[in-house]
Amino acid sequence: MARKREGLRRTGLVLAMGGAVSLGSGAWAQDSGNRPGWSPPTWSRSSVRYDRSLRPVSSSWAQPASATRTPQAPSASPLGSPPSPATPAPATPAPLPSEAAPASDRPPVLGSIPPPGAVRSRTVLRDEISPIDLATALRLADVQNPDVLIARQRVVEAVAVRQLTVAQLLPSLNGGASYNTHAGVLQQSDGNMLSVNRSSVYVGAGSLAVAAGTVAIPGVFLTGNTAEALFRILISKQVVRQTQFASIAARNQAFLRTCVAYCDLLQAEGRRAIGEQIASDAEQVANITAQYARTGAGRPADANRAATEWARRRAEVRQFEGEMLMASARLCRTLNLDPSIRLHPTDAWVVPSPIVPDPIPLPELIALALLQRPEMGERKTVVREALLALHGARALPFSPTLWLGYSAGGYGGGSNLVRPIFGGFGGRQDFDAVAYWTLMNMGVGNVALINVARARLGVTKYEELAMLDHIRDEVAESYARTHARYQQILENEEAVRAGMQGFAEDLERIKQAAGLPIEVLNNLHLKAQAEFDYLASIVDYNKAQFELYVALGQPPAQYLSRPVPVEGFPAADATPFRAGDAPRASGAAPDGVIRPEGTRAGLSAPVPGR
């Protein structure tokens, strides 16, 4: 009995993309479609079904208790002679009054409205759609999102810069030829002025060989400061790691934007489906009150009020259709698709999608995020870069600058003082090795470089601390948001149930002329708001789950695997489902789609516009 009472307590509601917000008998069910050791809850579907015009085909509240009550007075109902007090009222409502031409002295009735088909044809949606699911959207974002592609190209750029930095350890090769000629006087080392006309030619490794001097442009050449070269290589390695972490962070954020955009599209589709159902309910109220007004059994003002409500609901549906197109365009922008394409989610039901299991406490989630977030890895590499730059600045005055050169080639020439004037060609080799130490600006420049590097290191450490606080704040906010949204789902579930029952009872009352139309319109408003809030709470809960998962840095599955508490959550067949049990086969449809327990694929309401 306790298990049965618990099952009744967990009676849930499901938002169908076909427009149904209906009672269900669902309990939390488990499947193996996500992570080992835990699985997301699914909510069962209802016995209320809707056709493609979003009218209820079968409903549990078609005969409310108010339909069985005996009318208070015979004159209160325009439906004919009521039964005597001793005779119970029939279970089905009495027929509505037949239409009669309104009297000339009666105010005009706005209930003369266009037929439903003409009203519903005023849609701004095209028939051409492109179905998409969340998995496909994420795959497209991984290969087409511009932010992801830019971040990956930066990694390629950093790798190329590192290759260039390491290549500085290799010498450069020069080859060419040079011709030099001189005509006029030259001064000898003893001060004697000598008039000479000379010329020379050099061909080989290197260039610009003049007289007895070395080859100015060596054939094999290597130069640079040893400390600068070494620390530049070490820093380039950290730059590569930094861009890799930044690429992962950009991908995570792109995935989060994709999930949020997809949830917005789902919510827009769901709001339109609910709006269609609310408009259908408003149409029913408008037709009833208009018939009463035409026969004189009701006030024309009530009919006009109901007709106004119906018109507003139809306009609201058009607004929701515009929101669908805008949500589709935002998702197309995230996926780098043509915004003229109308994307349509394949999800037939909007249900909570928990990703991070509740049993993990907040401190453990924060510690996990600090280990897994790519932003923390990026900050750490920036700190290492600054630390290496400081070490390089300190070692710079003590590291030599090397200049190495080697040349080999053919050399020849002559002058007017010797014979032949031009000849004497032969081989020539030159090798030069130079090493020197430098104090920049008499050492003051070196001290300034050290101070600058030390200040940058301090900045990067504070930036790392700021990122740590930011990550902890993100995890804590997302954790609180998921729990708050989940509680809102439970509260809105009760509000939807009460709103549906209240609207059904008041609708039967006005059919029996036992109530005022303003009462059913008020219940219609409450029911509509409850359904919209219920949809919003589920979508916001899914967004919060995605945000929490990204705030954790998309950790591997084993970090999130925890035993799922099943006490008080019996399955639909009242058999407890424990962690580690095999998944129930009844939730798997023939097409491979996991559906809620105890439901059939044929009961799925069609998505509007499909």
- Output the pLDDT for position 297: 77
Which tops the pLDDT comparison, 51 or 127?
Answer: 127
Contact 507, 520 (CB under 8 A): yes
Domain ranges of the chain: 1-60+572-610, 175-218+401-436
Helices (H), 428-587: 444-511, 517-551, 557-560
Q: Which range, of 7-11, 502-506, 562-566, averages the lowest pLDDT?
A: 7-11
Give per-residue pLDDT as tens, 237-275.
999 999 999 999 999 999 999 999 999 999 999 999 999
- Output the pLDDT for position 175: 93
CA-based nearest residue to 237, from 331, 132, 158 = 158
Q: Beta strand pairing status for 193-207 and 401-415?
A: antiparallel
pTM greater than the 0.75 cutoff: no
List strand residue ranges (DSSP E) for 68-215, in order. Answer: 130-132, 172-173, 175-187, 193-207
Task: For 108-130, give one letter per residue: b (16+ CB within 10 A) or e.
Answer: ebbbebeeeeeebeeeebeeebe
Contact 406, 430 (CB under 8 A): yes
Q: Which of 5-9, 35-39, 101-105 has the highest mean pLDDT?
A: 101-105
What angle, rounded to 10 degrees, do the helices at 517-551 and 444-511 form?
A: 150
Mean per-residue pLDDT, 296-312: 87
pLDDT band, very low/low/confident/very high, at 393 (cuts 50, 70, 90): very high
pLDDT at 235 over 90: yes
pLDDT at 68 over 50: no
Beta bridge partners of 187: 193
Mean per-residue pLDDT, 518-530: 89
pLDDT at 389 over 70: yes
CA 258 vs CA 133, 140, 144, 543, 602: distances in Å? 11, 9, 12, 11, 30
CA-based nearest residue to 515, from 64, 106, 71, 99 = 71
pLDDT at 93 over 50: no
- Output the pLDDT for position 333: 94
Cα(271)–Cα(83) distance, integer angstroms: 43
Give per-residue pLDDT as tens, 70-88.
333 333 333 233 333 333 3
Which tops the pLDDT comparison, 510 or 564?
Answer: 510
Contact 204, 173 (CB under 8 A): no
Beta bridge partners of 183: 197
- Output the pLDDT for position 516: 72
Rg from Cα positions in the chain: 41
Which tops the pLDDT comparison, 596 or 323?
Answer: 323
Which tops the pLDDT comparison, 194 or 232?
Answer: 232
How high does pLDDT run on average in the chain?
Answer: 76
The dihedral built from the CA positions of residue 437, 443, 448 and 453, taken in this order, carries a sign that is positive
Which tops the pLDDT comparison, 471 or 190?
Answer: 471
pLDDT at 113 over 70: no
- Output the pLDDT for position 64: 34
CA 594 vs CA 355, 390, 597: distances in Å? 16, 57, 9
- Output the pLDDT for position 39: 36
3-state secondary structure of 531: helix
Mean per-residue pLDDT, 439-468: 95
Quote the tokens at residue 70: 């005996």
Give per-residue pLDDT as tens, 139-159.
999 999 999 999 999 999 999
Q: Which range, of 127-136, 263-272, 472-481, 572-581, averages the lowest pLDDT?
A: 572-581
Q: Which range, of 29-43, 176-190, 298-312, 394-408, averages the lowest pLDDT?
A: 29-43
- Output the pLDDT for position 335: 94
- Output the pLDDT for position 359: 77
Task: Look at the block and give the residue holding tokens 């009735």.
Answer: 109
